Amino acid sequence: MDGSGNSLASGPDGTKRKVCYFYDPEIGNYYYGQGHPMKPHRIRMTHALLAHYGLLQHMQVYKPNPARERDLCRFHADDYVAFLRSITPETQQDQMRALKRFNVGEDCPVFDGLYSFCQTYAGGSVGGAVKLNHGHDIAINWAGGLHHAKKCEASGFCYVNDIVLAILELLKKHERVLYVDVDIHHGDGVEEAFYTTDRVMTVSFHKFGDYFPGTGDIRDIGYGKGKYYSLNVPLDDGIDDESYHFLFKPIMEKVMEVFRPGAVILQCGADSLSGDRLGCFNLSIRGHAECVRYMRSFNVPLLLVGGGGYTIRNVARCWCYETGVALGVEVDDKMPVHEYYEYFGPDYTLHVAPSNMENKNSRPMLEEIRSKLLDNLSKLRHAPSVQLQDCPPDTEFPEAGEDQEDMDERNDPDSDAEMEDLKHAEETPRKYMSSNMQSVKVKKENFENEPNNQESHKAGPEQAKGFDPMAEDVPPMKASDKASMAVDDPHKASSKT
């Protein structure tokens, strides 16, 4: 991989960034159930690697403040969130109708602590967005990235969509937010939430064709004001690093040039790695991490979240290496001895060789995809030149001394031994939320007229496409009128029932 920068970079790529990292020591204890491929334990394995590679000391480490019900309801339906809050393995037999309605039970099982799991991973992503809004360059939440969750239902191991919530947080400060998804699955939940707005651009690279969730056709490009603001890159089995970046780099370079986002969220789903239990791509960890390196090189505030990843030793390897990339630190291939060392035998190295599987993505196919998508991007109106300096600072948020204050408050004496690894363990201060968000009354637009969406090839009656989640005429920050921001309302107007 060449690791080269790009035309927008404002400094050498090795420049240090102010990086923060969100981790809750409880996260590894949540358990989807026997045989379920989604294993939150991989987050704890990642954390152990970070600790033993000495990477934690280069970042501010935060224990996320759990997202509250009203935080989750900024995107999700009230009744769905209430259901997630109340359902338990013991009571689920009496809730068969609700389970079916909210798509909970099989892929998305009810397990002990389900709601606090959701609060934790969502809290990390929203907390990361808050940090970016207040001066951090990069925020990391490997527990997040659950991109399939919908407004009113669980999907693909995802219950609440932390990414949508984090984007809503970023939109308080930024006129435009870019979402990039390198999970092997289509980032359908995020795309759907912002399908009709030009304030959020979504770009998903995924396996397409007889593969979950079935959406993500190259012809799905957004609707209404959002036309050309959704980008889908359909790929086939066995894609390798070179083929991937033959698309990723020119496409992302063009996206950055024409869309000029104020912040970027990169979903780093590791099921696109070679040898994934559910995936069928052939990316090396360096190839996967090159996406992080490349997006970082634009020097735009960047939120890194996790996502899929089902060969958990490789997930931990990948996200550890990518944390190093975020920090500008090249980590040793030789792995330090640590509590999960035995997972990494027989080589005990960070990197693993990709396989010799066939790459079904022919060069002519890749060229056709690239040229089609670059053509779509050229139709995209250049981003309006809103001067971010015009945006007043968030006065509710205590900038000075905030971290010190939290360090005092947040050392949790009840936490387990791993808290030792949490240098500066603390929660994100979210006091601003109670003063700011509580009073934001959701502006409900009337979206009765479901447009006839000819561009969308998505199936399903609940797709909520054609709703504009943004009141796009309202600037993101108006000194006199902060509470009128309607950006926290994707799909409040739509209803599943």
Is 310 labelled as part of a ligand binding site?
Answer: yes
Q: What is the largest CA-CA distance in the chain?
A: 62
Q: Residue 351 has what DSSP assignment? A: -
Q: Is 431 helix (H, G, I), strand (E, B) or coil?
A: helix
Please report whether residue 198 would count as binding Zn ion according to CB under 5 A. Answer: no
- Set 47, 58, 147, 148: catalytic member: 148
The least CB distance from residue 184 to Zn ion, in Å, is 5
- CA distance to 63, 318, 373, per residue, from 261 (Å): 28, 26, 18
**CB under 5 A: which stretch of 13-21, 24-32, 302-310, 466-474 binds Zn ion?**
302-310
Please report whether residue 124 would count as binding Zn ion according to CB under 5 A. Answer: no
Mask of contacts with Zn ion, 232-271, x by CB under 5 A?
-------------------------------------x-x
Is 245 labelled as part of a ligand binding site?
Answer: no
Angle between helices 312-327 and 285-296 (to 10 degrees): 30
Is 240 labelled as part of a ligand binding site?
Answer: no
Query: Residue 135's closest CA among 269, 19, 15?
Result: 19
Cβ-Cβ contacts under 8 Å for 357 (sequence gap 6 or more): 237, 238, 274, 282
* Cβ-based nearer residue to Zn ion, 133 or 272: 272
Query: Residue 224's closest CA among 492, 494, 473, 468?
Result: 468
Cβ-Cβ contacts under 8 Å for 301 (sequence gap 6 or more): 132, 133, 136, 137, 138, 170, 262, 263, 264
For residue 76, indicate whether it is catalytic: no
Find the binding residues for Zn ion in span 266-295 (CB under 5 A).
269, 271
Please report whether residue 169 would count as binding Zn ion according to CB under 5 A. Answer: no
Please report whether residue 185 would count as binding Zn ion according to CB under 5 A. Answer: yes
The least CB distance from residue 233 to Zn ion, in Å, is 15
CA 165 to chain centre: 10
The least CB distance from residue 270 to Zn ion, in Å, is 9
The least CB distance from residue 26 to Zn ion, in Å, is 23
Per the omega criterion (within 30 degrees of 0), is the bond before 64 cis? no
Query: Residue 39's closest CA among 286, 338, 277, 320?
Result: 277
Could you give the CA distance from residue 414 to residue 229 in angstroms, rounded to a whole number? 46
The least CB distance from residue 281 to Zn ion, in Å, is 10
* Cβ-based nearer residue to Zn ion, 188 or 271: 271
* Cβ-based nearer residue to Zn ion, 187 or 262: 187
* Cβ-based nearer residue to Zn ion, 185 or 293: 185
Please report whether residue 183 would count as binding Zn ion according to CB under 5 A. Answer: yes
- Cα-only R_g, the chain: 21
Mask of contacts with Zn ion, 303-322, x by CB under 5 A?
-----x--------------
The least CB distance from residue 375 to Zn ion, in Å, is 28
Do residues 149 and 171 lie in contact, with contact meaning Cβ atoms separated by under 8 Å? no
- Residue ranges of the annotated binding site for a divalent metal cation are 183, 185, 271
- Residue ranges of the annotated binding site for substrate are 107, 156, 310
Which residues carry out catalysis? 148
* Residues near Zn ion, by CB under 5 A: 183, 185, 269, 271, 308
